[in-house]
Structure 1
């Protein structure tokens, strides 16, 4: 109960914030805005005098903005302001289920509507000279849907391992009816349910992780979620998965509507998203390039130092072109 109340009312102390990143997030403006259905969504901004532009960061599933201190620091060093929010149901934002560990959303488009509100109310009023979008995984899917509807907002975009398809334990045609049946059954009891085998937050040992090959970076990630348990999130619900299928179908079928200059970075050893689907979206998009990182895992931004340097260099070089 205490953890739920902390999530709902954001009781972060300065000690917790210092543990997260003493040199960065204490300098940020942190607040909240109201999203779809009155949900409280937390955000942070890092601005500087004479910035040459601004970057909006759309994070991945189960993440919060406190995890993005490395990317935020790199962008600030490039004289770019940073705007980042926590999606509904995760990070420091309000959760949607009685069990706060459930990764849930009622409508995937709510993520996009929240993003639109954030940009319209917190970013555009600052009138940045240039405006860029960076999205990781689920954030890449949300960002792509946004670009399909609002092609003129951003000067350029970069997506890291975007969620255009998900690697599944079996064929989708067999799994989807089962998930739909379970989601309907869950509704009868008034609470969403986990996907088959899903659990509350369980930190995996480095040897079993599918995200990064960098043991130190992975430990930093685990430490952050241990120090600030409000960030913890378990597996997705059946309904979340169904909504994600629908969203990814729309991204693929309307890929030609992504006209913003976009760089997609692909992790060659990704065990989370489907690289084949990713390539089909890139090929169908109007103004999109693909960068393959053959030996990388899904979390490109916390991969080994060699991969991470290449990722950050490609990201900043792309943004400087536009």
Structure 2
């Protein structure tokens, strides 16, 4: 398989993605991937996967995916990171991927309490770090996963060298609807659902999983990676997820504000990658979060706008993805315990 070189790194090539999957990525996963599960909050089964580095290593990246995502979607990224000599640990957040849903309904994107995401992640991290003596440990998170990691770092004594957030969810793009109206509506409907013991139901306008055409997608400019993304959900219908519920929106609006209000508690060096053409989450929320970091953390942190990127930076065209991924790996390399 041909790898695309960028500075000191080698990444899979968009042009040869199908070939890379069949000849390198999938065989590597089949041979080395270590799936597992544990009991999270309220005894839900939380699934995860560890992909060991290509050579034995003392470096770990914990990956926290975004809403609707599971570790199966991250095969290419995990493979690329493993080739750069990192063990990769990916969680399937509750209510998505292969993890248990909060209710009997499979499709609605739902969580009973945003804090449960944080507690599940902490449990996985504690279990894994107790069993492995890593010298260098990093967090990499996307979108909703970024909000989860932010809350984790605000609450836990962070045993990580550094953290990178890709298009983190500190504000949701609501179009022309003002945030107070959207938040108030979701909260009111959720309260009615609780009162009448119904639901949780989809938020207004939301529905079951239905893939968009590439031309209509808001995630990436890379047709090859978008088609691969869709193929994963087609092959594994159990991970398909629809829109969010009123309860998820209520919990998330509260959590995003808490992320910003408590950003000063974060002590780790942080890299925030903002997607210039993001239509899913807001630049305003990301700026607000970064500006709220304490002076010590901010001095060691970086804010980088990824020009031309849509929301899924790590699934973008090669020129965009390689630049962003190189920034992440460079940032991690600056914060090492080696030597």
With structure 1 as the length reference, what TM-score do the two structures score?
Answer: 0.91
| Residue 233 of structure 1 pairs with residue 241 of structure 2 | yes
Matched-pair contact (CA < 8 Å) for 1:57–1:82: yes
Q: Is the alpha carbon distance of 1:52 and 1:58 closer, same or farther for their aligned partners in structure 2, counting shifts above 3 Å?
A: same
After alignment, is 55-64 or 170-179 more displaced?
170-179
Alignment match, 1:64? 70
Please give the per-residue CA displacement for 1:217-238, whole angstroms capped at 9, x wherever unaligned. Answer: 1111011100111110000000
Alignment match, 1:34? 39
The alpha-carbon deviation at position 186 of structure 1 amounts to 2.6
Matched-pair contact (CA < 8 Å) for 1:24–1:69: no
After alignment, is 79-88 or 46-55 more displaced?
46-55
Alignment match, 2:309? 296
After alignment, is 65-74 or 234-243 more displaced?
65-74
After alignment, is 121-130 or 254-263 more displaced?
121-130
Distance 2:248 2:28 in 1: 32
Alignment match, 2:26? 22
Matched-pair contact (CA < 8 Å) for 1:25–1:66: no
Structure 2: which 5+ runs fail to align?
1-20
Alignment match, 1:212? 220
Distance 1:147 1:283 in 2: 16
Give the SS at the match of 1:24: helix
| Residue 166 of structure 1 pairs with residue 172 of structure 2 | yes
Matched-pair contact (CA < 8 Å) for 1:156–1:261: yes
Query: Which of 173, 189, 205 is the equivalent residue of 1:182?
Result: 189
After alignment, is 276-285 or 293-302 more displaced?
276-285
The alpha-carbon deviation at position 43 of structure 1 amounts to 0.8
Give the SS at the match of 2:26: coil
Distance 2:279 2:24 in 1: 28
Alignment match, 2:319? 306
Distance 1:284 1:242 in 2: 23
- Residue-pair matches, total: 306
Distance 2:192 2:208 in 1: 20
With structure 2 as the length reference, what TM-score do the two structures score?
Answer: 0.87
After alignment, is 110-119 or 17-26 more displaced?
17-26
Matched-pair contact (CA < 8 Å) for 1:19–1:227: no
Distance 1:126 1:60 in 2: 26
The alpha-carbon deviation at position 47 of structure 1 amounts to 2.1
The alpha-carbon deviation at position 124 of structure 1 amounts to 3.5
Alignment of 1:1-322 (within 5 A): 22-26=26-30, 27-48=32-53, 50-169=56-175, 170-187=177-194, 188-286=196-294, 287=297, 288-322=301-335
Please give the per-residue CA displacement for 1:111-140, whole angstroms capped at 9, x wherever unaligned. Answer: 000001001112342111111000000000
Please give the per-residue CA displacement for 1:260-306, whole angstroms capped at 9, x wherever unaligned. Answer: 01100000110011101201211221323101112110000001110
Structure 1: which 5+ runs fail to align?
1-16
